[in-house]
Amino acid sequence: MTTAGPQPPTAPHHPGEEISVENVTKRFGAVQALSGVTLSFPPGRVTALMGENGAGKSTLLKILTGDHQPTEGAILWAGRPRNFSSPHDARKAGIRIIPQEPEIIPHVSVAENVYAGALPRTAGRRLDRAELRRRITADLLRLGFEKVIHPDQLGSELTPAQRQLVEILRALTGDAKVIAFDEPTSSLSENEVEALFGLIERLRGRGIAVIYVSHRMKEIFRLADRIAVLRDGALAGVLEARDTDEGEVVRLMVGRDLSSLYVRQDVAREEVVLRLQGVTTDDVFDIDLDVRAGEVVALAGLMGAGRSELALALAGDRPLRAGRVSVNGRTLRLRSPKDAIRAGIGLAPEERKAQALFLHRSVRDNTSLVSLDRMRRWRFVRSRRERAAAQDYSDRLRVRTPSIEHEVRKLSGGNQQKVVLARWLLRKPAVLILDEPTRGIDIGAKAEIYRIIADLAREGVALLVISSELPEVLGLADRVVVMQNGRITGELSRSEATEEAVLHLAMADDLAPVAADRTLTDSADGDAR
C-alpha cells in the first residue's frame, strides 16, 4: 500500500492547535543564547523571525525542532507542555524546518532525495520506481516547481537553488502543521521565488503556521502577518506587519538607526594593482579590467553572467585559456590557488560553508589557514604566534565567539563571514575578491562588513566586489563593471551608476522593462549559476 506524496493538509487546523514557547532560556556553557523568550506561532499566519546574526533565531528554531532542549522554559502545544527530545519527535508532531544549507544525497535522484526514508515499495520490497515517478511528478506540478527541477536529476548535479527546492519538497511529506523557512530565497531565481511565495500563501490558507526567517525586508513585508524581532537572545518586540515599517524593524533589531549604512570615501590611488588583459576561460571571454589601489570595483550582472567564474579563475581555481593577469606589474602564472595566494590575491567565495570554511575546525584554524607559511620555524608552526594573530583579528572584526577555539560551524552566518575576512586581513593581500560578501547575513552585520571593506580600501587594497544586490553595488562601488554571458558589457563611474543604467547593461540582449528596485539576482529568468 502506498502513501500520498507531499501535500499540505486539506483543512485548516483548529485555532487551539498553536505552538508557542514560554519563558525559554538556552545556555551553552557561559554563553546565553536565549533569555526568557515567550512567543507564539499561530496557525494560518506567517510569523517573520528577524534579528541580527547571533540574536538567537537559529537556537529558537532548533529548540522548536528538537535539536536543542531549553535550559529553562517550555514548548507549549495547544496550551499544554510538550517535550521534543529529538528532531524525530518534532517531525512526528508535524514540525518541519527547511534549512538554509540543504542536506542532499549526491548519488541518488531528486525523487529519491525527496522520499528518503519513505520510498514506495513493491510487494517484493523492491523500489517501486513507477510509483515514485508518479508521486514526484504530481508533487512538482502541484507546487509549481515542474519547470525548474527534474525528478531524475542526481543530487550532485543540482544547483544551489534546486537543492533548496528539494528540501522544500521533502519538508512537505506527511501532515505538516508548522513549517519554518530559514533564508529560503538566498539561492533562488525570480521564477523560483514566485513559486515559493505562492506555496507559502497556500500553506497559510490551509491553516499551517509558517515561520519565515529572512534578512530581506521586501520579502518580509510581502509575506508576513507579524514580525517577531530577537536582539541579543531576548524578544525585542512583536509587530503587526501592516502597522509598521522597515525603520521600526531595524531599530528593534539593532537598537539604533542605521542612518549611514554605506561608508563612502575617495581613497583610490593612481597605481594599478590588478590588471586583466584579454582573460579568457571556459566561462568568460576577453576580459580587460584594471583595479587600482584603494579602489572598490563592483562586478554586477544577472545570474550566469560569469562573475563568480571570473573570480575563481583569478584565485587559481579555474584554468586560463588565454590572456594575462598581473599584480603590481608582475605577470602571474595561476596554476593553483597557492599561486594566487603567493601573488597577493585573496578570494572570499560565494558559498562560504562549502568553499571557504572548515566547519568542524576552530576559528583559530580557519583564520590562520593561508598564513601558516609565515608562522613556521623550520617545519613547525609557532602556535603562540598563531593564537595571538587569530585572537587579534577576531577582536578587530568583532567576531562573536566564546573563544577562538570554538568550532566555526557553531557561529552565525555573519560571524562566519567575518572569520573568512579575518583570514585575508591576516594574509594582507594586494587584491581581495569578495563574492556576495553579505549573502544571508543581517543588516547589522552588513554594516560591519561594509566598514571592513572601507578600512581595506583605506589601506590600499584593490577590491573586486561581486554582488547581486543593486543597492549594495551602488552603495559600495567607486566603479561598476557589468557582465553578461561571460563578457563585459559596460562600465559606469560612481556618478553614472544608477539602478536603471546597471540593469540596462546587464540585460543588453533583452531590454524588457524590469522594476528598478529588484535585486539583480531576482531579475534572472530562472537561470542558475
> If you average pLDDT over residues 88-103, what whole number do you get?
83
CATH of the domain at 299: 3.40.50.300
Percentage, residues of the chain above pLDDT 90: 40
When divided into structural domains, the chain yields a total of: 4
> If you average pLDDT over residues 39-61, what whole number do you get?
89
DSSP state of 71: S
Residues 34 and 88 reside in one and the same domain: yes
Nearest to 172 by CA among 3, 9, 63, 1: 9
In a domain, 121, yes or no: yes
SS3 at position 7: coil
In a domain, 130, yes or no: yes
Residues 402 and 331 reside in one and the same domain: no
480, three cell numbers:
561598476
Q: Supply the pLDDT for residue 64.
A: 93
Domain end residue (candidates: 408, 428, 448):
428
Residues 49 and 190 reside in one and the same domain: yes
Q: Supply the pLDDT for residue 327.
A: 97
Q: Alpha-carbon distance 70 to 405, whole Å?
A: 24
Domain end residue (candidates: 205, 232, 254):
254
Residues 6+ apart with CB under 8 A from 123: none
Q: Alpha-carbon distance 256 to 264, whole Å?
A: 20
In a domain, 13, yes or no: no
Nearest to 524 by CA among 285, 305, 311: 305
Q: Could you tell me the residue range of the domain that residue 367 belongs to? A: 360-428
Residues 82 and 191 reside in one and the same domain: yes
Residues 327 and 437 reside in one and the same domain: yes
pLDDT tens-place string over residues 123-153? 888 888 888 888 888 888 877 778 778 888 8
Under the banding of pLDDT at 50, 70 and 90, the label for residue 385 is: confident
519, three cell numbers:
535585486
Q: Supply the pLDDT for residue 53.
A: 66
Residues 319 and 408 reside in one and the same domain: no
pLDDT tens-place string over residues 468-503? 888 889 889 999 999 998 999 999 999 999 888 898
> If you average pLDDT over residues 274-293, what whole number do you get?
96
In a domain, 476, yes or no: yes
Q: Give this prediction's pTM.
A: 0.59
Residues 204 and 68 reside in one and the same domain: yes
Q: Supply the pLDDT for residue 210.
A: 94
Residues 6+ apart with CB under 8 A from 420: 348, 352, 356, 357, 366
Residue 20 has pLDDT above 60, yes or no: yes
Q: Supply the pLDDT for residue 522.
A: 39
In a domain, 423, yes or no: yes
Alpha helices in 255-407, H assignment, sequence order: 307-314, 337-343, 363-368, 383-396
Residue 60 has pLDDT above 80, yes or no: yes
Question: Using H for helix, E for strand and C for coil, what is the string for 219-261?
Answer: HHHHHCCEEEEEECCEEEEEEEHHHCCHHHHHHHHHCCCCCCC
> If you average pLDDT over residues 238-246, what whole number do you get?
92
In a domain, 14, yes or no: no
132, three cell numbers:
515514485
Domain end residue (candidates: 157, 175, 194):
157
In a domain, 336, yes or no: yes
Contact in structure between 413 and 53 (CB atoms under 8 Å): yes
Percentage, residues of the chain above pLDDT 70: 90
Beta strands in 397-526 (DSSP E): 431-435, 462-466, 479-484, 487-493
In a domain, 260, yes or no: no
Residues 183 and 327 reside in one and the same domain: no
Under the banding of pLDDT at 50, 70 and 90, the label for residue 281 is: very high
58, three cell numbers:
537559529
> If you average pLDDT over residues 105-130, what whole number do you get?
85
Nearest to 64 by CA among 13, 4, 24: 24
Mean pLDDT of the chain: 84
31 Rama class: left (phi>0) / alpha (psi -120 to 50) / beta: beta
24, three cell numbers:
525559554
Residues 168 and 125 reside in one and the same domain: no
Residues 387 and 504 reside in one and the same domain: no
Contact in structure between 348 and 441 (CB atoms under 8 Å): no
State the amino acid at position 39 in one-letter form.
L
191, three cell numbers:
521564477
Q: Supply the pLDDT for residue 257.
A: 54
Residues 227 and 99 reside in one and the same domain: yes
Comparison of pLDDT for 222 and 381, the residue scoring more: 222
Residues 166 and 239 reside in one and the same domain: yes
Q: Supply the pLDDT for residue 78.
A: 84
> If you average pLDDT over residues 447-464, what whole number do you get?
91
Beta strands in 301-421 (DSSP E): 322-327, 330-331, 345-348, 376-377, 380-381
Residue 291 has pLDDT above 50, yes or no: yes
DSSP state of 508: T
- Which of 356-370, 393-407, 485-499, 500-514 has the least mean pLDDT? 500-514
Q: Supply the pLDDT for residue 175.
A: 76
